Amino acid sequence: MKALEEKILRADTLEALEAVRVEIFGKKGYIASEFAKMKEIPGPEKKAFAEGLNRLKAQLQRIYDEKREALKAEALEAKMRAEAIDVTLYGGRPNKGALHPVMETMDKIIDYFVALNFSVESGEMVEDDFHNFEALNLPKYHPARDMQDTFYFKDGMLLRTHTSPVQIRTMKSQKPPIRMIAPGAVFRRDYDLTHTPMFHQVEGLVVDEKGKVSFANLKAILTDFLHYMFGDVDVRFRPSFFPFTEPSAEVDISCIFCGGEGCRVCSHTGWIEILGCGIVDPNVFKAVEYEDVSGYAFGLGVERIAMLMHRIPDLRSLFEGDLRLLEQFR
Ligand code: PHE
């Protein structure tokens, strides 16, 4: 009895215990072989022998059951320990994309004007001479065409050099009043720290009955817009020239890097040029056959603004697709 009990208690795995079970309780096991001895036991002792054997069997069974439960619990414990997941471990982040800083800046600009009820128009990137130049008061051989180094196709078509042709397309397809912006890519033969051959502009145009649109309106909206974009900066309107506006102005903000003290970014002037604008030239209205109207227009470079807002020193880096740069804008 003691030896059998020991055997059960020494089994240290479920497999070992099973072997012991067969040895004790199996068809050819110890208990079975003891019962087989019954026929040799003399009649009067049979009962006592059988009772003793049954008691032993029940006792061993109880020890076996207890041991089996203990081993099962141990095995489950070990399995759980082996399969455990440490939820506090660093798991890494999913790789999420993000808007390119140029598009993010463009969206911010668009949001401002959409809130003021401007429609968002688009035109053609491959333009003809009429929409890109002629209708914008830039006749052939006009010296101001040199301001914009143009990519031409063999058939005389060209890549638009600014978004101003969208002014013409919108006015030709809609009646006044007009209150529009036109965001989009434009192209010029330029490549240096502050110029890439493709960049983005947002054009603006407001046209209404003669006398309803003034330079004061233009000045007010652009000043407010620049405060929205750059916060508390000084805004300066500087007389300039564009063939399609008269009078024309370029708009500067006080340098956001040095606060107007003068630094490398603002070429020690304290000012940074942000956009061009003006009152729509009568010749533009003539080209689109608009009469008795007045209007203002403006055009701004999106990369320039993105560059200033994010302090990116080389504009070309925006288009190199280098993830080390782009990842900083997530
Ligand atoms: N089209 C001009 C440019 O590309 C910007 C501009 C737009 C100026 C509208 C005045 C009015 O430089």
The predicted-structure confidence for 40-81, as pLDDT tens digits, reads as follows: 888 888 888 889 999 999 999 999 999 999 999 999 999 999
Is the CB of residue 253 less than 8 Å from the CB of residue 271? Answer: yes
Beta bridge partners of 37: none
Do both 146 and 27 map to the same domain?
Answer: no
Residue with the nearest Cα to atom 10 of ligand 1?
277
Q: How far is the CA of 206 from the centre of ligand 1 (A)?
A: 14
Closest atom of ligand 1 relative to the 277 alpha carbon: 10
Query: How far apart are the C-alpha atoms of 165 and 134, rounded to whole Å?
Result: 10
User: pLDDT band at residue 285, thresholds of 50, 70 and 90?
Assistant: very high
Question: Does residue 207 fall inside a structural domain?
Answer: yes
Do both 151 and 39 map to the same domain?
Answer: no
Do both 197 and 298 map to the same domain?
Answer: yes
The CATH number covering residue 233 comes to 3.30.930.10
Question: Does residue 92 fall inside a structural domain?
Answer: no
Q: What angle do CA 160, 119, 237 make, to 5 degrees?
A: 70
The whole-chain average pLDDT of the chain stands at 92
Do both 144 and 189 map to the same domain?
Answer: yes
At residue 312, the pLDDT reads 83
Q: How far is the CA of 138 from the centre of ligand 1 (A)?
A: 13
Is the CB of residue 151 less than 8 Å from the CB of residue 159? Answer: yes
Do both 161 and 285 map to the same domain?
Answer: yes
Question: Does residue 94 fall inside a structural domain?
Answer: no
- pTM score: 0.72
98 vs 131 pLDDT, higher one = 131
Domain end among 82, 110, 141: 82
Q: How far is the CA of 175 from the centre of ligand 1 (A)?
A: 22
Amino acid at 103: M
Do both 145 and 252 map to the same domain?
Answer: yes
Closest atom of ligand 1 relative to the 164 alpha carbon: 1
| Structural domain span for residue 32 | 2-82
Query: How far apart are the C-alpha atoms of 308 and 157, rounded to whole Å?
Result: 33
Q: How far is the CA of 102 from the centre of ligand 1 (A)?
A: 19
User: pLDDT band at residue 12, thresholds of 50, 70 and 90?
Assistant: very high
Question: Does residue 96 fall inside a structural domain?
Answer: no
Closest atom of ligand 1 relative to the 299 alpha carbon: 7
Do both 230 and 128 map to the same domain?
Answer: yes
Query: How far apart are the C-alpha atoms of 315 and 308, rounded to whole Å?
Result: 10
Question: Does residue 90 fall inside a structural domain?
Answer: no
Is the CB of residue 315 less than 8 Å from the CB of residue 194? Answer: yes
Q: How far is the CA of 164 from the centre of ligand 1 (A)?
A: 6
Residue with the nearest Cα to atom 6 of ligand 1?
299
Is the CB of residue 118 less than 8 Å from the CB of residue 204? Answer: yes
Residue with the nearest Cα to atom 2 of ligand 1?
299
Q: Where are the alpha helices (DSSP H) in the chain?
A: 2-10, 14-25, 30-36, 43-83, 101-115, 129-132, 165-173, 215-230, 282-287, 302-310, 323-326
From 242, 250, 275, mutation site for ligand 1 pocket: most ligand atoms within 8 A of C-beta = 242
* 98-102, 282-286, 292-296: range with lowest mean pLDDT: 98-102
Question: Which string of b and e fits 274-291 if b means at least 16 CB within 10 Å?
Answer: bbbbbbbbeebbebbebe
From 164, 186, 203, mutation site for ligand 1 pocket: most ligand atoms within 8 A of C-beta = 164
Do both 213 and 129 map to the same domain?
Answer: yes
Ligand 1, pocket residues at CB < 6 Å: 162, 164, 203, 242, 245, 276-278, 297-299
Do both 186 and 37 map to the same domain?
Answer: no
Closest atom of ligand 1 relative to the 300 alpha carbon: 5
DSSP secondary-structure letter at 96? -
Closest atom of ligand 1 relative to the 301 alpha carbon: 4
Do both 69 and 106 map to the same domain?
Answer: no
DSSP secondary-structure letter at 152? B
Do both 150 and 268 map to the same domain?
Answer: yes
User: pLDDT band at residue 148, thresholds of 50, 70 and 90?
Assistant: low
112 vs 307 pLDDT, higher one = 112
Give the mean model confidence (pLDDT) for residues 154-175.
96
User: pLDDT band at residue 17, thresholds of 50, 70 and 90?
Assistant: very high
Question: Which string of b and e fits 29-45 if b means at least 16 CB within 10 Å?
Answer: ebbeeeeeeeeeeeeee
Number of domains into which the chain is organized = 2
Closest atom of ligand 1 relative to the 167 alpha carbon: 9
Do both 158 and 283 map to the same domain?
Answer: yes
Q: How far is the CA of 298 from the centre of ligand 1 (A)?
A: 6
Question: Does residue 93 fall inside a structural domain?
Answer: no
Q: How far is the CA of 145 from the centre of ligand 1 (A)?
A: 13
